[in-house]
Amino acid sequence: MAKLNDGKLVFTITEPDETERQPETQTVVEEKAAEPAEAPKAEETVKSAAEPEKGKKAKKKKKNRSGLHWYSKFLIFVDICVFLCFGMAYGPWPGFRDWLVTTALSTTSHRYFAYVLYNEEMVKAVAEKNSLIQPEGKSDMDAIKFVENDHDVIPKDGYDRQILEREEGALYKVIELDEEGYSGFITVIYYPERLSLVMAQKPWGDTITEFASRTGARIATNAGGAKLYSNGNLYTKDNVIVDGKAIKNNKKAAQIIGMSWEGKLMLVSETADQAIAEGMKWGVQFGPFLILNGKSTQFSGNGGFGIHPRTAIGQRQDGIVLLLTIDGRGANGSNGISLPDLTAIFERYYCYNAANLDGGGSTMLAVEGKLHNNPTGWGYSGERYVYNAIVYK
């Protein structure tokens, strides 16, 4: 501090006490703490915020470069599928080739498909390898002995018991089949003389439930085949017999599956006139015969008829008739059945005579007026219009 003393300027230095010095120090500290930090520039803020994203994108791009693009994976998948299909079609394993060719050849409208992958020589070789030899002759009706009281018969085994055991007064029973690769039904007919053949009323055919409704049938199933013409109508040149009369008669000997007036299954290779003369009540031209007088058809491979939905009929020596309905083409998880396997079912249930009827998309079964199976054709499902039907009243 400077003072004027006797005309002289005197400087005096005084130190402040602790109470005076501390606030100054605190004030300095507070002022330093309160000073706002300098705000970053906008460019620096954007740059710093963008730096992590840039790193993520870089890593992502690097990851994509190191892996296969989606269409590369897709092309590899297609190549594998083509390789597998080529191996199945032309490889050393004949199963797929035999199935494809024989299944196509045994249809009425898709035979051409057998030649899509194979030439005529290969198709012929497959057909010759898958063939059958049927027993000669015709069914012996004298061998069928109706049992009036089958409740007293002792079953041979479990399969026989399935057929013989029934409720008192039952006219029929339906047995469900669920085997490896196929499923379906066996309809057991205890009074075969009640079976008859009826024709469709409409030119394009009737569904199986229409047949059942119109006739009041307890059971109805498809019978013979027919060709669908371009005008949408069904027609056949094959022999058809209804109520002892040939409503279709081509005057040629052919395999006819029918029933006598007494209810005995008739399997003959004759003209319609000859079959009628021998006592045939109704019949359709179809086949092949699977069992004739206790002798089964001999098959090589699948018999040349592929795997399809099937309808078939058989009769035991006690007179009981079995109607088989096997679904196929994926319906209800069933692929269909080959003729050797179909024959094996009839053998299992002691049929003396049996034959194959029209099948494929026409395989249908109605029980008490309602559709009971799952009809499936190529590209469609549900009831199909058919030319005629076997009904049981």
Residue 315 counted as domain residue: yes
Which has more confidence, 246 or 81?
246
Same domain flag for 228 and 273: yes
Which of 88, 107, 131 terminates a domain? The answer is 131
Quick one: which of 332, 334, 316, 314 has its CA closest to 324? 314
Residue at 369: amino acid letter: G
How many separate domains does the chain show?
2
Taking the C-alpha atoms of residue 176 and residue 374, their distance in angstroms, rounded to an integer, is 13
* Residues 190, 118 share a domain: no
User: What is the predicted pLDDT for the residue at 152?
Assistant: 79
Same domain? For 93 and 79 the reply is: yes
Averaged pLDDT score across all residues of the chain = 83
Is pLDDT larger for residue 379 or for residue 71? 379
% pLDDT > 90, the chain: 59
Band of residue 108 on the pLDDT scale cut at 50, 70, 90 = low
Tell whether 141 and 202 lie within a shared domain.
Answer: yes
Residue 126 and residue 156 in one domain: no
* HSE-CB for 113 with a 13 A CA cutoff: 15
Residues 123 and 247 in one domain: no
Residue 53 lies inside a defined structural domain of this protein: no
Is position 328 within any domain?
A: yes
Of residues 363 and 14, the one with the higher pLDDT is: 363
- Answer with the one of 98, 131, 164 that is the final residue of a domain: 131
Look at the alpha carbons of 287, 201, 272, 172 in this order and tell me if their dihedral is positive or negative: positive
Is 147 inside any structural domain?
yes
pLDDT of residue 34: 46
Could you tell me which residue, 282 or 95, shows the higher pLDDT? 282
At which of 90, 113, 131 does a domain end? 131
Same-domain check for residues 112 and 260: no
Same domain? 154 vs 240: yes
Given 3-state DSSP classes, what are the helix, strand and coil percentages for the chain, each rounded to the nearest 5? 35, 30, 35
The per-residue pLDDT for 89 is 59
Residue 114's pLDDT band (cuts 50, 70, 90): low
Go through the chain and tell me how many residues it has. 393
- Is residue 158 very low, low, confident or very high in pLDDT (cuts 50, 70, 90)? very high
| pLDDT for the residue numbered 82 | 61
Q: CA-to-CA distance for 78 and 230, rounded, in angstroms?
A: 38
Query: Does 303 lie in the same domain as 217?
Result: yes
Q: What are phi and psi of 298, to 5 degrees?
A: -95, 130
| Same domain membership, residue 204 and residue 234 | yes
141/250 same-domain check: yes
Mean pLDDT of 345-364: 97
From 120-129, 303-312, 332-341, 362-371, the region with the lowest mean pLDDT: 120-129
Residues 16-44: tens digit of each pLDDT: 444 444 444 444 444 444 445 555 554 44
**Inside any domain, residue 346:** yes
Count how many Cα atoms sit within 13 Å of the Cα of residue 253 in the half-sphere of its side chain: 6
Asked whether residue 16 is domain-assigned, the answer is: no
Per-residue pLDDT averaged across 59-84, rounded? 60
Average pLDDT over residues 177-199: 97
Regarding whether 162 and 95 lie in a shared domain, the answer is no
Does any domain span residue 6?
Answer: no
Region 173-183 average pLDDT: 96
Q: Specify whether the backbone of 261 is left (phi greater than 0), alpha (psi in -120 to 50) or beta.
A: alpha
Cα–Cα distance measured from residue 41 to residue 352, given in angstroms and rounded to the nearest whole number: 102
Which of 63-67, 104-108, 298-302, 316-320 shows the lowest per-residue confidence on average (mean pLDDT)? 63-67
Range of the domain at 125: 69-131
Q: Which tens digit of pLDDT belongs to each residue from 217-243?
A: 999 999 999 998 989 999 999 999 999
In a domain, 352, yes or no: yes
Q: Please, are residues 47 and 53 in contact by the beta-carbon 8 Å criterion?
A: no
